[in-house]
Amino acid sequence: MRPFEGIRVIDVTHVLAGPFATYQLAVLGADVIKVEDPDDPDQSRGVGCDKDLNRRKMGTSFLTQASNKRSITLDLKQGKDREILKKLVATADVFVENYRPGAFEALGLGYEALAAINPRLIYASFSAFGQEGPRGTQTAYDHVIQATSGIMAMTGTKDVHPVKLGSPVIDYATGTTGAFALAAALFQRERTGKGQRIDMAMLDVAMILMSSHLTGYLHNGAHPKPHGNSHPHATNSAYTAKDGIVMLGASNLRQQKRLWTVLGRPDMIKKTNDERDADHAREVAALTEIMRTKSAAEWEEFLQARHVPAARVRTMGEALSDPQLLSRGVIHRHAKGAGGERELSVPLAAFTFAHGGPRIDTPPPMLGQHNDQIFAELGETGVPRRRPQRAPRAP
């Protein structure tokens, strides 16, 4: 039995952070029902690397975080559809939305209204800046929060910055943090019997992602500097090898001693970090010359065999073909997607359980695929505009 089997989640979210949070519960057994507007579905359905899938509203951005979910369509601007949603809420444990703060209250679907229907409901709202405060009504995406939070300003090199992180890490971190908050609230409810109101803000998550830098700035007022591929410690930075780039990770004093020993330079070993800081330029010069003598792959093999953290810089394709990653079960392969996609591969989870762990059972749903099934469960019949999306046969 997986942790959230028997838990029903109503997912009225779109794009990334919200859907990614509910996906974490879905792979751990929750019955996640994704609610979308029939005429304005989750925009991630039209986003991805395959234009044909985008046109069929099954874009790879959507496919990434929709396995194990069921899909229904409701136009929440219509009173009848709001009543159907309320019926669904009465059967649910968790309700998640990520629309503009105040939007659901205006529709009569805020926390107070839904908690009156279901006092044990855990109601989570995801937003850019939080439900209250001077910026509460403003909207944003991952890259806008990267700019707002200061994380861009500390990313890049001394000469080239600010730089946006390549992956929408704040969205994914918000989804992961949100899933943790939902799990914590469910655990709390087991003890108290009470529901919960969760307010998730992307800006808050971005600040937590910079925790040590934030503490440092609050201590001395010095803004974090962009270091690029270098680090304040020379033995903990990237260098150009004979072929490719190698990232050294000799971070602490024990590791730097081990590195200089295996490189045949015991004269460079330092006893304190202050000594390392003082000799930084000379260490960089020595390592720059030494690292050019082998390929990045050769350095990785040589140093890892001697317990010195190091890795050659890989592309995503190279990382995905690494036997270590293949052995971890991070990627799940669907034989066929609901929309006709062939050999659909998606990320599963970043951890394993000895038993009852994360698992994908069903492929991402087409828009409105489960209308008939879920409306029948609620005793609803004859609801208009509920036909599921019909995807053309894949070539």
**Residues recognised as catalytic:** 171
Which strand ranges, in their side-by-side order, compose the sheet holding 310-312? 238-240, 245-248, 310-312
Element (H, E) at 346: strand 342-347
Length, in residues, of the chain: 395
CB atoms within 10 A of CB 35: 23
Strand partners, 96: 11, 124
What pairing do the DSSP bridges indicate for beta strands 8-12 and 310-312? unpaired
Q: At 125, phi and psi to the nearest 5?
A: -115, 125
d(CA 225, CA 191): 45
DSSP 228-251: TT--SSGGGSEEE-SSSEEEE---
Question: How many whole angstroms separate alpha carbon 340 and alpha carbon 170?
Answer: 31
Rounded Cα gap, residues 44 and 23, in angstroms: 14
Contact between residue 38 and residue 75 where contact means Cβ atoms under 8 Å apart: yes
196's CB contacts (< 8 A; 6+ apart) are 122, 123, 185, 188, 189
> How far is 73 from 78, CA to CA, in rounded Å?
12
C-beta of residue 59 within 8 angstroms of C-beta of residue 23: no
* Contact predicate 122/94, CB 8 Å: yes
User: Is 224 in contact with 217 (CB distance < 8 Å)?
Assistant: yes
Both structure tokens of 107: 């529709």
Compute the Cα dihedral for 281, 286, 288, 291 and give only its sign: negative
Q: Are 24 and 351 in contact (CB under 8 A)?
A: no
